Amino acid sequence: MTHRIDIDITLAPGGREIACRIASDAKLTALVGPSGAGKTSVLNAVAGLATPLAGHIRVAGTTLFDAAAGVNLPPERRRTGYVFQDTRLFPHHRVAANLAYGTRFAAPEDRWIGQDEVVALLEIGDLLARWPANLSGGEARRVAIGRALLSAPRFLLLDEPFAALDPLRAEALTGLIERIRDELDIPILLVSHSAAEVARLAGQVVELHPHTALA
Amino acid sequence: MLSEAEWAVIALSLRVSLVAMLVTLPLAYALAYLLVRRRFPGRVLLDAAVHLPLVLPPVVTGWLLLIVFGRNGAVGGWLYETFGVALVFHWSGAALAAAVMALPLMVRAMRLSIEAVDRRLVGAARTLGATRWQAFCTVTLPLTVPGIAAGAMLGFARSLGEFGATITFAANIEGQTRTLPLAIYSGLQVPGNEDAVARLAVMSIILSMGALVLSEWLVRRAQGKDAHVL
């Protein structure tokens, strides 16, 4: 049977080679490893923002990249829900418009969650009229997650969602990701340094070693 | 105050500058975008060519325009034979000269604003379902509107002051190519015109200052009070 997440790629961001292999059926798979191991590079490759040298990326039954078969979907056709570490909210849009950004590009039949549901789930109703520049780190993260969910994604990529959050906020966000994991049926690939959160959330943990290929 | 002929000079100047600025706007933006976001062979040469009118004696730019767009020039000859259009001695020729001279300033202003756009935002837009073009229209373009406005005003102000290339290429024809600077120059050639020259010079200062102040104001309003174009 096919795995929910089936990645076997070689990457060369900035000239150094990274090999990553993930075969996971867990709802939430964590990718861990020391700083500089290339975890974000792997997420970028899955999202289509970087092109691997070789290998394949299959998520939720869809081949996103396959060097041998010549498949390389552009980012906009991968239906990725990518929550960036630096959130990358659009500074010229208020929170409401940020949330709605991806919805307009998604085919109506692909949308599986509405703005009201996302706002309730993430408890961001009070933030809708705010500008991204006026959000706290935790608020910006929740809005970024909401924006990703509303783009009708087939899977989620979470890059260090707990970075720079105080323990209380990290705990709240962990609970939230737990709910997304259990209530929404889409595979999640999480990159994180936080061992406690990873242990609580992940069904499978994959370690990425710097400069060495995983067997 | 101003005589009818003087108002006509100002109207002609505004028309020439406005047309020069509007025609150059999309070209300047495309060049700025290309120079900031693309790496291609000959990029340095293109960059230098765009900036050439800034450092070349304007009379040389005018001469080059004559060679290319004159009635016997490669492009000018074709235009004349195909459409019966002659840019020389015509206000559109003055607009072309002003456009070429304004281009580097417009490219520089827009380039700064394109450089200031975080490319990672474009990547985010792509993952959210936007094609390259949609991401450009919804992220890069709106975030560079202040730069476009500033570049447009700067180009307009530069066009108002254009003299050397215009008189070389389009000549000094009353009602066609005699814009404000050329009218002032002509006025100085004949004794007894001091008052008319002074009036036109004051108008020139008012229009140019207005355009510059407006461009600064536009940028500050959009990017905060520490931002500037000059």
- What is the ipTM metric for this complex? 0.91
Strand intervals (E) in A38-165: 54-59, 62-66, 71-72, 80-83, 155-159
The answer to whether the CB atoms of A47 and B127 lie below 8 A apart is yes
Tell me which chain B residues have a C-beta less than 8 angstroms from the C-beta of A79. Answer: 129
Please name each of the domains of chain B with its CATH number: 4-229 (1.10.3720.10)
* Spatial CB neighbours of B206, under 8 Å, sequence gap ≥ 6: none
Task: Tell me the C-alpha distance between B126 and B128, whole Å.
Answer: 5
Which residues of A lie closer than 8 Å to B, measured between beta carbons? 47-49, 74-76, 78-80, 82, 84, 86, 88, 90-92, 101-102, 105-106, 147-148, 151-152
Tell me which chain B residues have a C-beta less than 8 angstroms from the C-beta of A47. Answer: 123, 127
pLDDT of residue B80: 85
Give the nearest chain A residue to B130 (CA atoms): A76
In this prediction, residues A129-156 reach a mean pLDDT of 93
The answer to whether the CB atoms of A84 and B139 lie below 8 A apart is no
**What pLDDT digit, counting tens, does each position of B98-148 carry?**
999 999 999 998 999 999 999 999 999 999 999 999 999 999 999 998 889
Amino acid identity for residue A84 in this structure: F
For residue A59, pLDDT over 90 is answered with yes
Within a 10 A sphere around the Cβ of B59, how many other Cβ atoms?
Answer: 14
Give the nearest chain B residue to A152 (CA atoms): B128
SS3 call for A24: strand
For residue B208, pLDDT over 80 is answered with yes
Amino acid identity for residue A89 in this structure: L
As a whole number, the mean pLDDT across chain A is 90
Out of B121, B132, B142, closest to residue A88 by CB: B121
Within a 10 A sphere around the Cβ of A141, how many other Cβ atoms?
Answer: 27
Tell me which chain A residues have a C-beta less than 8 angstroms from the C-beta of B128. Answer: 76, 101-102, 105, 147-148, 151
Nearest to B101 by CA among B43, B42, B54: B54
For residue A123, pLDDT over 60 is answered with yes
In this prediction, residues B192-221 reach a mean pLDDT of 87
- Residue B76 binned pLDDT confidence (cut-offs 50, 70, 90): confident
Cβ atoms of B148 and B22 closer than 8 Å: no
Cβ atoms of A130 and A90 closer than 8 Å: no
In this prediction, residues A47-56 reach a mean pLDDT of 94
Residue B118 contacts A, CB cutoff 8 Å: yes
Q: Which of B117, B118, B120, B127 to mutate to test the interface with A (most CBs of A within 10 A)?
A: B127
Shortest Cα distance from B152 to chain A (angstroms)? 21
pLDDT of residue B134: 97
pLDDT of residue B18: 95
Helix (H) or strand (E) holding B125: helix B119-127
In this prediction, residues A185-195 reach a mean pLDDT of 91
In this prediction, residues A15-36 reach a mean pLDDT of 90
Backbone φ and ψ of A154, nearest 5°: -90, -15
Residue A18: beta bridge partners? A11
pLDDT of residue B229: 60
Cβ atoms of B179 and B13 closer than 8 Å: yes
Give the nearest chain A residue to B143 (CA atoms): A92
Cβ atoms of A161 and A171 closer than 8 Å: no
For residue A12, pLDDT over 50 is answered with yes
Shortest Cα distance from B219 to chain A (angstroms)? 15
Out of B118, B121, B128, closest to residue A105 by CB: B128
pLDDT of residue A213: 44
The answer to whether the CB atoms of B142 and A147 lie below 8 A apart is no
pTM of the predicted model, to two decimals?
0.85
Task: Tell me the C-alpha distance between B194 and B201, whole Å.
Answer: 10
Task: Tell me the C-alpha distance between B66 and B63, whole Å.
Answer: 5
Give the nearest chain A residue to B118 (CA atoms): A88
The answer to whether the CB atoms of A102 and B126 lie below 8 A apart is no
Alpha-carbon distance values, A171 to A201, A204, B196 (Å): 12, 20, 77
In this prediction, residues B186-198 reach a mean pLDDT of 90
Q: Which residue has the tokens 């690939």?
A: A189
Task: Tell me the C-alpha distance between B48 and B53, whole Å.
Answer: 10
Out of B125, B127, B130, closest to residue A80 by CB: B127
In this prediction, residues B11-20 reach a mean pLDDT of 95
Task: Tell me the C-alpha distance between A197 and A203, whole Å.
Answer: 12
Length of chain A: 215
Shortest Cα distance from A197 to chain B (angstroms)? 25
Q: Number of C-alpha atoms within 13 angstroms, CB side, residue A18?
A: 25
For residue A100, pLDDT over 70 is answered with yes
The answer to whether the CB atoms of A74 and B130 lie below 8 A apart is no
Cβ atoms of A187 and A4 closer than 8 Å: yes
For residue A131, pLDDT over 70 is answered with yes
Cβ atoms of A50 and A43 closer than 8 Å: no
pLDDT of residue A29: 95
* Spatial CB neighbours of B129, under 8 Å, sequence gap ≥ 6: A76, A79, A102, A105, A106, A151, A152
Nearest to B24 by CA among B89, B83, B108, B135: B108
For residue A96, pLDDT over 60 is answered with yes
For residue A215, pLDDT over 60 is answered with no
